[in-house]
Structure 1
Amino acid sequence: MNDPTRTGRPGSGISRRSFLGGALGTTAAVAVVGGAAAPARADDLAGGEHAKRRIPPSGIGMHLYTMRGPLAQDFEGTLEQLAAIGYATVGVSGRHGYDATQIRGMLDRTGLKAVLEHVGYDAITSGRWEQAIDDVRTLGGKWIVIPSLPSSMHNPAGYREAARRFNEAGLTARSAGLKLLFHNHEPDHRVVEGELLYDILVDETDPALVGFEFDLYWAAKGGGDPASYFREHPRRFPALHVKDMAPNGDFADVGSGVLDFAGMFRYARRGGVKQWLVEHDAPADPFLTARNSYAHLAALRY
């Protein structure tokens, strides 16, 4: 039986055991990437001798799952506040009773741009894929994102089936001017039957048809090394979920946790990153999270 703690990418030098035991077991303020600890946030912000780049303002976005509470109360008012903070783009995840045309109108009025929408895997398998593509085009997005796979597919055969379907669905999306992306969670970085599941998708999908919305928190928590993926698979990762990790492994506002974003982002250009979308799965105060996270990304140098 495979060791369930061996979830690291072959050659990455990190396993789930070393990550959880080393990075999350300490209360010291450290930043973690690729299994290595680095000085925390001051160096990220001030930059070192090689830290010359910044995230373009047009690339800092908010994944709207973070704001689902306020959106349910006042969708357009929430968008207005995000725009006032400085966000340029959003990733749509949940419509709260509105259709794509209505959301597009609110985005246009607030000056925000939707770059993608999350669409369930069953849209591919149930014949709703073309309608989902039409809705993303209505929203103004460039990418249509499958956020997860059914738990019944969390095995090598299931991931190979998903890769096959992604290639087919990606061809349809491309004909409509969009690209299919897959969003990862921790289970995608597990080794099952001797195979790293996420790598099956990376290796068996056509780069011209399928890319990835890379969730940095879930990759790190699963034992993956985001920077190595950017280096080894150029231009496959046009969008990121920038989500930080508290020392105990919980979610954290961007810039307040232990993940070394500057170290990851040094390879972002090679990875093809165009959008840095803030996400926090369980914010106590979504607008405070939005302000804190935007301020950190706007000031970050790498």
Structure 2
Amino acid sequence: MTLNRRAFLGTSLGLAAATGLASAPAYASEGDAARWRRIPRGGIGMHLYTMRTPLAADFLGTLEQLAEIGYATVGVSGRHNNSASAIRGFLDRTGLRAVLEHVAYTTLTGTGLPQALEDLHTLGAKWPVVPSLPGSMHTPAGFREAAREFNRIGQASRDAGLGPVQFHNHGLDHEVVDGENLYEILLEETDPHLVAFELDVYWAAKGGADPARLFVEHPRRFPALHVKDMAPDGDFADVGSGVLDFAAMFENAHIGGVQQWLVEHDRPADPFATARNSYNHLAALRY
């Protein structure tokens, strides 16, 4: 599905204008810094799917380099034959903190749920995240079934002393099928105390959604983001090098309840260069 970029940027800028900040620069001078928001250093993280190639060769060494760049947190996605306790040991040695882990829908809806929640405690993380739904569920009925399951999983997660379960979106999740927006079904038919959303802003935009609008219309539902930029041709890009207007988008992030900005790139040519470029952009961003 192609992105209607003009509609996306127009809506985002319109929302910024409504708060009187449409002219706010992405980068403010030192004297102006107090006038603009910035992402807290503790909120800039790396979703480890980006780093899967170097992690497979040297898990600890990769985390050490992320910490040296300045990252504070990680989203775990693939353990590369390490146990949860081993990864926790690596994190503790590097000063990084896991905030969430991606766990398959079939694991969380099946007998693997208790162990998955226990592993989150071991990792020191807060949120279980469903990375995607089976393709056969991409219908209104399928998404309603998922909403019921998410409420159940979220209750179990809360009962275990963790946060709500989160759902990570892709472009197809924003489709309108039989007159119904699939993603909106999840937003409307899940309990906000039990279910939240790890919003991938690239896939939201690719699917025709407007993250800035979602933050306003569904406040406090988006504790974590995948911050992924879009190249002019629609491919993936390092954060800050593409066409997505993050300054306008993040103006409403506090309304959405965002706590974690997790960098992601699905196909980085050089994962460490992507990590450095993306961190530097987010650390300097003012909005």
Superposition TM-score, scaled by structure 1 size: 0.87
What pairs up with 1:205-244 in 2 under 5 angstroms? 205-244=190-229
Amino acid at match of 1:57: R
Question: Distance in 1 between the 2:33 and 2:263 partners?
Answer: 26
1:165 maps onto 2:142 in alignment: no
Match of 1:91, SS state, is strand
* Alignment partner of 2:9 out of 22, 27, 32: 32
Match of 1:127, SS state, is coil
Asked if structure 1 preserves the Cα contact closer than 8 Å seen for 2:69 and 2:276, the reply is yes
For residue 44 of structure 1, report the CA deviation from its aligned partner.
Answer: 1.5
Asked if structure 1 preserves the Cα contact closer than 8 Å seen for 2:103 and 2:131, the reply is yes
Match of 2:161, SS state, is coil
- Higher helix fraction (1 or 2): 2
Residues matched between the structures, number: 276
1:115-153: per-residue Cα shift (whole Å, max 9, x none)?
Answer: 000000001232111110111111000110000000000
Residues 211, 161 of structure 1: alpha-carbon distance in 2 compared, 3 angstrom cutoff: same
Superposition TM-score, scaled by structure 2 size: 0.92
Partner of 1:199: 184
Match of 2:80, SS state, is coil
Residues 33, 88 of structure 1: alpha-carbon distance in 2 compared, 3 angstrom cutoff: farther
For the aligned residue pairs, the C-alpha RMSD in angstroms reads: 2.1
Amino acid at match of 1:18: N
1:62-84: per-residue Cα shift (whole Å, max 9, x none)?
Answer: 00000000000000000000000
Match of 1:34, SS state, is helix
Question: Distance in 1 between the 2:79 and 2:127 partners?
Answer: 17
Question: Distance in 1 between the 2:86 and 2:113 partners?
Answer: 20
For residue 17 of structure 1, report the CA deviation from its aligned partner.
Answer: 6.2
Partner of 1:62: 46
Identity of counterpart residues, as a percentage?
A: 67
Partner of 1:260: 245
For residue 194 of structure 1, report the CA deviation from its aligned partner.
Answer: 0.4
Partner of 2:74: 90
1:174 maps onto 2:151 in alignment: no
* Alignment partner of 1:270 out of 255, 258, 276: 255
Asked if structure 1 preserves the Cα contact closer than 8 Å seen for 2:12 and 2:249, the reply is no
Asked if structure 2 preserves the Cα contact closer than 8 Å seen for 1:184 and 1:213, the reply is yes
